[in-house]
Amino acid sequence: MHYTKKYINFINGRYASEGIRITAGIIAPSLVMNAFDMLPTGLIMSFGALCVSVADTPGAAKHRINGMLATSFLVAILSVMTHYVAANNILLGILLTLAGFIFSMLAVYGIRSAAVGIAALLMIVLSLQSPPHGKDIWIHAIYTLAGGTWFMLYSLVLYRLRPYKFIQQVLGDYIQDVAVYLRSRGALYAANPDYDKIHESLMQQQISAEAHQNLLSDLLFNTRRIVKESTHTGRVLIKIYLDVAELFESVMTTYQDYGVMHRQFDETGILEDYRRIILSLSDEMEEIGLAIKSGIDSQPLVATTTLIEKARARFEQLRLSHMKDEKVEEFVSLGRILRNLQDMNERLTILHRYTTYEVELKKNDANVKIYERFAESISLRPSLFFSNLNFNSNIFRHALRMALALLAGYIVSLFFKVDMGYWILLTIVVILKPAYSLSKQRNYDRLIGTAAGIAIGMLILFVIKNDNVLLGLMLFFMAGSYTFMRTNYFMSVLLMTPYLLIFFHLLYPYNLKDLMIDRLLDTAIGSVIAFIASLFLVPAWESSSIRTLMIKMIEANDKYYSLVAGSFCSAGPFNVDQIKIARKETMVALANLSDAFTRMLSEPRRFRQGIKNIHKFVVLTHNLTSHLATLSYFLQAKQNLFRSADLLPVTQQTRLHFHNSIKLLNEEEGELVKPDNSHLRKVNDGLSILVEKRKAEVALGDLETPTKKVMVDSKSVIDQFNYIFSDAAAVTKISSDYNKEMDEKQQRSFLKNPFEILNV
Q: Span 176-181, mean pLDDT?
A: 92
* Confidence grade of residue 526 (pLDDT, cut at 50, 70, 90): confident
Is 639 a residue whose pLDDT tops 70? no
Q: Tens digit of pLDDT for each residue in 212-249? A: 888 888 787 766 555 455 577 888 888 898 888 888 87
Smallest CA-to-CA distance from 445 within 433, 457, 458, 434 is with 433
How many Cβ atoms from other residues are within 10 Å of residue 729's Cβ? 18
Q: Tens digit of pLDDT for each residue in 116-159? A: 999 999 999 888 877 788 888 999 999 999 999 999 999 999 88
Is 284 a residue whose pLDDT tops 90? yes
Q: Span 713-735, mean pLDDT?
A: 90
Is 606 a residue whose pLDDT tops 90? no
Specify the pLDDT at position 756: 44
Q: Tens digit of pLDDT for each residue in 590-600? A: 888 888 888 88
Q: Tens digit of pLDDT for each residue in 683-701? A: 988 888 887 887 787 777 7
Cα-trace Rg, the chain: 29
How far apart CA 10 and CA 16 sit, in angstroms, is: 7
Domain ranges of the chain: 1-161, 164-372, 394-540, 550-758
Q: Tens digit of pLDDT for each residue in 449-467? A: 888 888 898 889 888 888 8
Domains 164-372 and 550-758 share a fold: yes
What does CATH list as the number for 550-758? 1.20.58
Q: What string of H, E and C letters represents the secondary structure of 239-256?
A: HHHHHHHHHHHHHHCCCC
Q: Span 48-65, mean pLDDT?
A: 86
SS3 623: helix
SS3 90: helix
Query: What is the helix (H) or strand (E) element at residue 459, kind and residue range?
Result: helix 436-463
Q: Span 665-693, mean pLDDT?
A: 87
How far apart CA 54 and CA 217 sit, in angstroms, is: 22
Is 758 a residue whose pLDDT tops 50? no
In sequence order, which residues have a C-beta less than 8 Å from that of residue 154 and are 6 or more positions away? 24, 25, 28
Specify the pLDDT at position 755: 43
Q: What string of H, E and C letters represents the secondary structure of 280-320?
A: HHHHHHHHHHHHHHHCCCCCCCHHHHHHHHHHHHHHHHHHH
Q: Does domain 164-372 have CATH number 3.30.70.60?
A: no
Specify the DSSP class assigned to residue 703.
Answer: -
How far apart CA 373 and CA 376 sit, in angstroms, is: 8
Is 369 a residue whose pLDDT tops 60? no
Q: Tens digit of pLDDT for each residue in 404-435? A: 999 999 999 888 765 556 788 988 998 888 87
Angle at 509 between CA 507 and CA 514, to 5 degrees: 105
pTM: 0.83
Q: Span 673-689, mean pLDDT?
A: 89
Q: Span 314-343, mean pLDDT?
A: 77
How far apart CA 168 and CA 171 sit, in angstroms, is: 5
* Confidence grade of residue 208 (pLDDT, cut at 50, 70, 90): confident
